[in-house]
Amino acid sequence: MAYTLDDFCNDSRTLLKAQTLAAALPQIADRLARLLANPAFVTATFNEDMPPGKQLLHHDPETDFYVLAHVHQGNQTGKPHSHGASWAVYGNAKNVTEMIEWRRVNPDSDDHAELVAASRYSLGPGQTKAYAPHAIHSTKHPQKAWVIRVTGTDLDHLPRYRFGKNDKILESA
């Protein structure tokens, strides 16, 4: 029997309630990979005519996690950012998301950030990655990509951090 969105949401809720966040996140990422391996889920969630943007697939009111489907246009590079106090799990359904994890090298008390690239990798179809709260990362989509992102809360109502032109961002690790 194929692993479904309902299975994923039930498993994620159970993991978040029964384990520490550090223990639950890699297991949620593993289950997201299992969900992305279900072609019926991918076909029901995405299609070639979908415009760039996000769609809410599920919100769990008990633990407050969200499951979102994102369509990213090609040739798009995001700036380094964190999800603040929330965690996130990313998984690709189609094409590639190039990821960079960043490390801040100056004190948080400074009014600008100095970041260095700590890790670079790509997430292809079916691949997932979990990010703890305050993890700084950036995404790049060379082609149109279909991505599932699971977050610990509604990020639209949470202070988050984006790093920009006044910050020193070093591309080499």
Asked whether residue 84 carries a pLDDT value surpassing 70, the answer given is yes
Predicted confidence at residue 166, as pLDDT, reads: 56
Mean pLDDT of all residues in 32-56: 96
Residue 14, domain CATH: 2.60.120.10
The boundaries of the domain holding residue 30 are 5-170
**Cβ neighbours of residue 116 under 8 Å, at least 6 residues apart?**
102, 103, 105, 170, 172, 173
Q: pLDDT tens, 108-119?
A: 888 778 889 999
Number of domains in the chain: 1
Token readout for 22 is 């550090």
Determine what percent of the chain is predicted with pLDDT higher than 70.
Answer: 91
